[in-house]
Copies of this chain bind each other. A is one copy, B any other.
Amino acid sequence: MSVAQQTDLRAYCLDLARRAAAAAAELACVGGAARNEFLNTGAKLLRQRTAELLAANEQDLAAAPGFELTDAQVDRLRLTPKTIESMAVGLEEVAAQADPIGEVIESSVRPNGLEITKVRVPLGVVFFIYESRPNVTADAAAICVKSGNAVILRGGKEAAHSNAAMVAILAEAADAAGLPSDAVQLVETTDRAAVGHLLALDQYITVAIPRGGESLIRRVAEEAKMPVIKHFTGNCHVYVDAAADLAMAERITINAKCQRMGVCNAAESLLVHRRVADEFLPRVGKSLADHGVELRADENARQRLLGAVEASEDDYAAEFLGPILSIKVVDSLDEAIDHINRYGSRHTDAIVTSDEAAARRFAARVDSSAVMVNASTRFNDGGQFGLGAEIGISTDKLHARGPCGVKELTSYKYVVFGAGQVRE
């Protein structure tokens, strides 16, 4: 790239960020009705212009062989009238959610008569960096604008045409609803250096949210000058306690591992208390094998499992995102907890037990965004928790942890009403 091109790219990114910040300042004063009108108009336009979206998507599909995508990736890239309808419904569902902005979170009147209110406000500008699936574009734009933020979207290069068509429609919806059309912007270059330029602009961009593979997230976390909400994939555990109902334990293990293997809240590791290992492992081993899952186990577990291979240290730390499960027999609840805190990724971990004290100890000591007691790890999800649409599942402990919906894209300010009070 020439110096002139580099300068152009930097100027382009600066302009994008400045426009977003100006849009965010306007959005902070826009009522919920206008933000909902944007969402409902966006849904209407997506439906009306299905043909245009499909045509843009055809261009991406035609170019797909150049990106060496897997069949599954091509499948996720493909838009159909059905997926477009479901994006439109998604926008309407976000519109139907309660407005988070302006909510008085807490208030009090101090002895000197000052009225202290803590009011929910937008974050400002969200820089969202994600991969492939174009339906994420509509979802992310919807929850960012619902929560009063301007958003800069950086989608995968494979979906460039689909994303551009969608963002053009959303900008039109913003305009029709009286919102700044820069409320939703797309980074319209596939040059990777653009991400670096934008990550340096912390005076305009409030937060960066990467969603995708671990290397993307690490790169963003390292380069960003603004805070990052990280969404690492999950190394999730199911622990079957000595006091477990073993039929329930089998159902939960199979669901957590097999219901959908490539997602962050799928189980990657099974821990079994020694006292139930003889009875539980052979039966769950057979079920898992029937689902085509490869078992990697420690010596104690392998004695009770047919066809399991030896697990390495790396296996216990791995996020397989596919048909492999690591297995270990533990001597105690605390050994299970320590194993999870050591090898896990602080995402989602489940205990199956009828011993309430064991459940409480597990819930208190396992340091993860969600702890499931007698339920599948697969429930750690904004929709399943009743939070509505989500932009991802945070594995951070600051700001937002677990599913990030509209509320997690907000901040607050204190607004204090006085009658001339001064400090003594």
- The interface of chain A, by Cβ under 8 A from chain B, is 25, 28-29, 108, 110, 114, 116, 119, 123-124, 206-207, 227, 229, 245, 248, 251-252, 254-256, 259, 341, 359, 361, 363-365, 367-376, 378-380, 384-386, 396-399, 401-402, 411-423
Query: Can you add 8 more A-B contacts, CB < 8 Å, to A368-B413, A374-B418?
Result: A108-B385, A114-B375, A227-B396, A227-B398, A376-B423, A378-B422, A384-B423, A401-B413
Known contacts A375-B114, A398-B398, A398-B411; is-contact A25 B367 (Cβ 8 Å): yes
Quick check: A259 and B423 within 8 Å, CB to CB?
yes
Question: What residue in chain B is nearest A366 (Cβ atoms)?
Answer: B413
Quick check: A207 and B245 within 8 Å, CB to CB?
no
Q: Helix, strand, loop or mixed for chain A's interface?
A: mixed
* Closest beta carbon of chain B to A44's beta carbon, Å: 29
Return the contact of A379 from the options B248, B370, B385, B416 (Cβ within 8 A).
Answer: B416
Quick check: B245 and A374 within 8 Å, CB to CB?
no
Quick check: B375 and A416 within 8 Å, CB to CB?
yes
Quick check: B398 and A414 within 8 Å, CB to CB?
no
Quick check: B365 and A417 within 8 Å, CB to CB?
no
Quick check: A379 and B415 within 8 Å, CB to CB?
no
Contacts of A245 in B (CB 8 A): 420
A386 to B106, CA, bound (A): 12
* Closest beta carbon of chain B to A332's beta carbon, Å: 15
Quick check: B29 and A397 within 8 Å, CB to CB?
no
Quick check: A422 and B365 within 8 Å, CB to CB?
no
Quick check: B29 and A374 within 8 Å, CB to CB?
no
Contacts of A359 in B (CB 8 A): 417
Known contacts A25-B365, A376-B421; is-contact A398 B123 (Cβ 8 Å): yes
Quick check: A397 and B374 within 8 Å, CB to CB?
no
Quick check: A372 and B29 within 8 Å, CB to CB?
no
Contacts of A207 in B (CB 8 A): 397-398
Contacts of A368 in B (CB 8 A): 413
Contacts of A397 in B (CB 8 A): 123-124, 206-207, 411
6 contacts between A and B (CB under 8 A): A110-B384, A207-B397, A227-B399, A256-B422, A369-B414, A375-B421
A108 to B382, CA, bound (A): 13
Quick check: A367 and B402 within 8 Å, CB to CB?
no
Quick check: B373 and A422 within 8 Å, CB to CB?
no
Quick check: B380 and A255 within 8 Å, CB to CB?
no
Question: What residue in chain B is nearest A420 (Cβ atoms)?
Answer: B248
Contacts of A401 in B (CB 8 A): 411-413
Quick check: B416 and A372 within 8 Å, CB to CB?
yes
Return the contact of A370 from the options B374, B378, B413 (Cβ within 8 A).
Answer: B413
